A and B are shown apart, each in its own frame.
Chain A
Amino acid sequence: MSFYRGMTCENVTIKGDKATPITAYVARPSGSGPFPGVVLIHHLPGWSEFYIETTRRFAHYGYLAICANLYEREGGGSDGNPDDVAAKVRAEGGIADSQMVGDTEAAVRWMRAQADHNGKVGLVGSCSGGRHAFIYACQRKDINACVEQWGGRVVMAKEELNARTPVAPIDMTKDLSCPLLGLFGNDDRAPSPEQVNQHEAELKKHGKTYEFHRYDGAGHGFFYWHRPLYRPEQAMDGWSKILAFLGKHLAK
């Protein structure tokens, strides 16, 4: 595997859902490429340092990577404190799934317009971003692989549905348009192991291409190196699974 220690990172403005300008963080490996692309969907704590760093990490492994700020409309611009912005989003009931799809589509479009892109795009998200990545992969056909890390609320009870989240992601499974990699901790409660089983059963039922990896001794967010949730052994194995999966599906 090649490493790209040199990279260029910057904020770019993309035209998000309903043509609203939003900021996205880009990490571009040094060299002429062409590079496979990774679009990251950040988690509930927002466009956080963890996601900015993870965007760079993908560039380190030779991916042209972009992560859009899905909470831009809540204020703070590109310099807003992610914690405060995320708290505001939570207070206002979260963002609409449809808005997330519009914003992510803009990031995918940006990726496909780059001269040094190889034409393949992988989508990666954790926590709410894992749920969002799965939704996007079911609603659009412009990506080549999807990585869902411990997506909560893929399985939703009817009473949880509302105008912003009108359809449970699990009910979109038949429309999944690309191979799916799922990583989950067996000590997690949202999604619980039972919900992960339901998620997998639905994928099987519809004959989808997927691989799920469940980790003992890990709960939610076990990649988050800055949290007590971090489980280094499981996280490093998870990273190897992600890189192998993307390497397989995003190669030209």
Chain B
Amino acid sequence: MCTSIIENARVQGMAKRGDEWFPLSQAVVAYDHARHAPLGDVITLDFINTNLDPGARAGIELTLETAKELRAALDRAIAAAEFEEAEVRGKGSCSASSELRDEFAAGTSGMRVSGACSGRGLGHP
């Protein structure tokens, strides 16, 4: 394949090349024939900074299946991260975090949760 399947995302962060880290400007997601992996067509992830030299790049080639697994892992981690962020904003916290996370994800958490965990969440007396 010689596709035009290319998606760009602005990203803020850093990536590693060799022994050094460089600031990122962009992530490029593509589906095309692999350049290095001993595979046919792959999802390619390039974390790059086009303002720097072309070597400012962390490149990854994944099978479509494992790319889906990565996406699912990202979704799970992001859902958990958003829950944690919400805690900081005052929704509270408690040891039954997985249960609360489920409630949070389902949109059913609220004052009941905060009350149950009083004393642990930031900003709660």
Chain A interfacial positions (CB closer than 8 Å to B): 44-45, 74-76, 80-81, 83-88, 90-92, 127-128, 130-131, 150-153, 160, 188-191, 219-221, 227-229
Contact = CB atoms under 8 A, between A and B. Distances in A.
Q: A-B pairs with the 7 shortest C-beta distances?
A: A152-B2, A84-B54, A190-B1, A85-B54, A87-B46, A88-B54, A91-B28
Given A83-B36, A229-B33, A76 B54 contact: yes
Given A76-B53, A81-B55, A229-B33, 15 more contacts: A45-B35, A74-B54, A76-B55, A83-B35, A84-B55, A85-B54, A90-B6, A90-B28, A91-B8, A151-B2, A160-B4, A188-B1, A190-B1, A190-B2, A219-B1
B26 interface: yes
B46 A44 contact: no
B35 to A, nearest CB: 5
B33 A220 contact: yes
A221 B50 contact: no
Contacts of B35: 45, 83, 86
Contacts of B3: 152, 190
Task: Give the dominant DSSP class at A's interface.
Answer: loop
Interface size class of B (residues with CB under 8 A): 20 to 34
A198 to B, nearest CB: 16
B31 to A, nearest CB: 10
Nearest to B59: A87
B54 A153 contact: no
Nearest to B8: A91
B51 to A, nearest CB: 10
A160 B3 CA distance: 11
Contacts of A127: 2
Contacts of A153: 2, 4
Q: In the complex, which of the residues B2, B8, B38, B40 has the most CB atoms of chain A within 10 Å of its own CB atom?
A: B2
A242 to B, nearest CB: 19
A228 B38 contact: yes
Contacts of A229: 33, 40
B39 interface: yes
Nearest to B53: A75
A160 B2 CA distance: 14
Nearest to B52: A75
A188 B32 CA distance: 12
B43 interface: no
B34 interface: yes
B116 to A, nearest CB: 48
Contacts of A220: 1-2, 33
Contacts of B100: none
B79 interface: no
A91 B2 contact: no
Contacts of A227: 33-34, 38
Contacts of B54: 74-76, 80-81, 84-85, 87-88
A205 B89 CA distance: 67
B57 interface: yes
